[in-house]
Structure 1
Amino acid sequence: MNTKIQSTLTQNIFLCLIGIMTIFLFESCAKKIAFQASSIVPGAEGTVKVKKDNNSNYTIQVELSNLAEPGKLEPAMKTYVIWMETEQEPVKNIGQINSSSSLLSKRLKGSFETVSSIKPTKIFITAEDDGTIQYPGTHILTTASF
């Protein structure tokens, strides 16, 4: 009977270890990086979360707070554009946070999500007059390379 208890105990410990390793494996797949401080919008804060999915695509989630309306910047702009750098492409416009469509709320919070087949190495935000612009202006918020 002692061997049966030891065998069951060993199996339970083994299953617990597999469960813990699985949790750490999934947690390590997602990177969460904070934006660096900005002299243009000093109160702005935010994070970027990049996670590889089952199809080898990368989900990019941006969360922002205390980001001033683009029209209140000097010079005034119309929208914030989110850019991605990769090893294959130097820079790519991946979308915009448009304050007129309530994505940037009265509480100055906003979020953005997209999927890319290419792994990003850096994410940054600029204020622009045109959300479809192909080349970035002055960086408002940026992450370190990851």
Structure 2
Amino acid sequence: MNEETKICAEDMESMLHFFGRVFGWKEEFKIVGTKQFSSSALLQEYVVSEDPQEIIGSRKVICHPKYGSYYCHYDVKGVNKVVKVLLDGENGDKVEAIAVCHMNTSFTAQNLDHPLSRMLGLKPGTSPVCHILAVGNFVLVQT
């Protein structure tokens, strides 16, 4: 694979070609995403109800819906972790969430204009940062 680590795929063919370049054409992968088990209020407080479980895989592609296409990016260095976490909402909702943990945040801490730096006030040497993927986002994990 060359240096390309991201794609804005407007069709399934482009997306599959990118996945094939990342994983190889004969490798197997699984797709994981956040699942909400009830359809109550979307904005509410959630608490983690069980210990997170890491989803193991040597390569991972994370995809986010963007304006009728998907923005997908690949962690070339393999430093991000993907975990499944169960959440309980304040009104009884249950969510099986997928979180991506950026284990090396030094790239954002050194670039104060990076969105993560501004949102979280990251400074050099900051701890890992994890974020929950919303419903509709997904991760392909090499099995």
TM-score, normalised to structure 2, is 0.22
Structure ranking higher in helix proportion = 1
Q: Please tell me whether Structure 1 or Structure 2 has the larger radius of gyration of its CA atoms.
A: 1
Q: Report which structure shows greater RCO (CA 8 Å, sep ≥6).
A: 2
TM-score, normalised to structure 1, is 0.21
